[in-house]
A and B are shown apart, each in its own frame.
Chain A
Amino acid sequence: MLLHGRRTWIFETPPVILATGTVVGPDEGAGPLAADFDLVHPDMEIQQPSWEKAERALLEQASDIAVSTAKLSKDKINFYVGGDLINQIISSTFAARTLGAPYLGVFGACSTSMESLALASLIVSSGAGEYALAGTSSHNCTAEKQFRYPTEYGSQKPPTAQYTVTGAGAAVIGKTGQGPKITSATLGKIVDLGIKDPFNMGAAMAPAAVDTIQGHLEETGRQPGYYDLIVTGDLAGVGHPIADEMLRRNGVPIEQTRFLDCGLMIYDVAKQKVQAGGSGCACSAAVTYGHLLKRIAKGELKRILVVATGALLSPLSYQQGETIPCIAHAVSIEA
C-alpha cells in the first residue's frame, strides 16, 4: 500500500537515486563540505551578466552533471520536477528550457528539494515515468535582491538571520539500478505559529519540521532510532535547537538518532560570516545530494531522513504584516 496514514507514501518498489549533481558558490566551497560537491565556483557571478542568470547556470550545470553521471541522454528524462525561490520560479523554468524535458514546476521555498524528490519518486515508483529528475537551486544574491535589500546595501543583519546558499542540486531517479533507495516520503502541511520576522526564519520553520517528523514517525510506525541520521533542511542555529527541544517536549525520543541540520553543516558557522547558518533551496539539496549520499555510498550511513523546511513568505506578505507560513517535507533514503 502506498499511502500510510494521511500523508506518508511508502514506496513498495523504492525508486533509486541513480546519480546526483551538486554545484556551489565560493562560500560553500570555503565550508567544511567543499570536497563533497561536484563543482565549486570561485565567484558568485558564474560568468553570467546577472544574478538570475547565474542561478540558472548553477541549476543547468547540476542537472547536466546528474544526467551525464547517470549515463543517460537528456531525452531519456521523462519528467523534470523542480523549483526555486525566485518569483515565478524562473531559474527552474529556464533550466527546464535548456534541458528540454517535460517539466513540473513546484514551489515549496527551501523545502523544494524534498518536495521535488518526493514527487519525482512518486512518478517513477508508480510507473508514470522511467526516469525523473528532481532539481532545485538558490543564489545568495538573487534571494537578497528579491527578499531583502540590494546585495551591496549596508545594513546590519541580526544574529537570527541566515545566509542563503549559492548552489544547486539535482538527482536522477530511476525505477531500477544501483544507488540509494527512496523508501518513503511524508508531505508537510502549513504550520504557522505567528512568527513575522523574515530575519528569523529558523524559529518560524521549526514547528513545521517538528510536525512533519512526528507525522512521519507516527504514520510509518518508526522510532527515530530507525534512522542513522535525521537532518533538517535549514533551521540553522536558532531553529534547530528549538525543533530539538519541541520534539523532546512532545515525547519524541530524538536522542535515539543523530539530529542535525544542513544549514549548520554547509558552513563553518563559527568562522564564516553567515549569522545563524545557511538557508535556501540549495542548502538541503547540496548537502543531501552531495555530502549525505556520499556518506551512504561509503557505508557510513544506512538510513537517513531528510526533512527540508520552507518558509513560504513573499516580500509582499511580510510587508503587509502577515505571519510566515511554513512547511516541511520529509524523504527517507536508505542504502
Chain B
Amino acid sequence: MTTKDVNQGNAPAYKPVSMTPKEYKQFAKKREPSRSVGMNCVRAFLIGGAICLIGEGVQQFFMTAFHMSEREASNPTVATMILISVILTCLGVYDKIAQWAGAGTAVPVTGFANSMASAAIEHRSEGLVLGVGANMFKLAGSVIVFGTVAAFFVSIIHWLIEVWR
C-alpha cells in the first residue's frame, strides 16, 4: 500500500463546487464553441438552392421530354426528388450532407423524405408493423400535424378576408 507516500499529507480542503445553476449556465455558455450562424446560412442557402435547382431541372426535363404542362410535371418531379433523397439516405450519404448543409437539406421535400426513410430503416429491426409502420412518422408526424394546423388557421384568415371584401 502507498498510504505512507510523501505526497500524502493532511487532507487538503478545497472550495466545494458551489455555483448556482444560473451562474454555471452563464459560466458554461461563455466557454462553448460559437456556432457559425453566418456560415451556416450561406451553406444552407447553397445546398437548399442546389436542391431546388436540381428539382427545377427535373421539372424542365418532364416538360420537354414528355410534353407535360408545368402543373402536370410537378407530381413526377416531387416523386423523383423523393426517390433521390431516399436513395441517398439508404446509401448513408444524406446525413453527411446535412451535417455540412444544416437547414439546407431539412427544408425541401428531400428533408421530409429523409426523415421518413431514415426512421423506417432504423426501426426495421422491430418488424414491419411495430417497427417501420409505427415509427415512420416519428419525426415527420409533427410536420404533418402542425402543417395541417397552420393550414387551418391560414384558411380561416383567407376566408375572413374574402368575407370582408
Contacts and interface: CB of A to CB of B under 8 A. Distances in A.
B31 A203 contact: yes
Contact of B98 (A154, A246, A249): A154
Given A152-B117, A153-B139, A145 B122 contact: yes
B111 A160 contact: no
Contacts of A218: 11-14
Given A193-B21, A203-B28, A218-B13, A12 B95 contact: no
Contacts of A159: 32-33, 35
Interface stretch (A111-119, A126-134, A207-215): A207-215
Contacts, number: 149
A111 B38 CA distance: 37
B134 to A, nearest CB: 13
A268 interface: no
B123 to A, nearest CB: 8
Interface residues of B, number: 53
A138 interface: no
A152 B94 contact: yes
Interface string A1-14: 00001000010101
Interface of A: 5, 10, 12, 14, 49-52, 145, 149-160, 183, 191-195, 200, 203, 206-207, 210-211, 214, 217-223, 225-226, 237-238, 241-242, 245-246, 249-252, 273, 276, 303, 323, 334
Given A153-B118, A221-B11, 10 more contacts: A150-B121, A153-B139, A158-B35, A200-B32, A203-B28, A207-B24, A217-B12, A218-B14, A222-B8, A242-B31
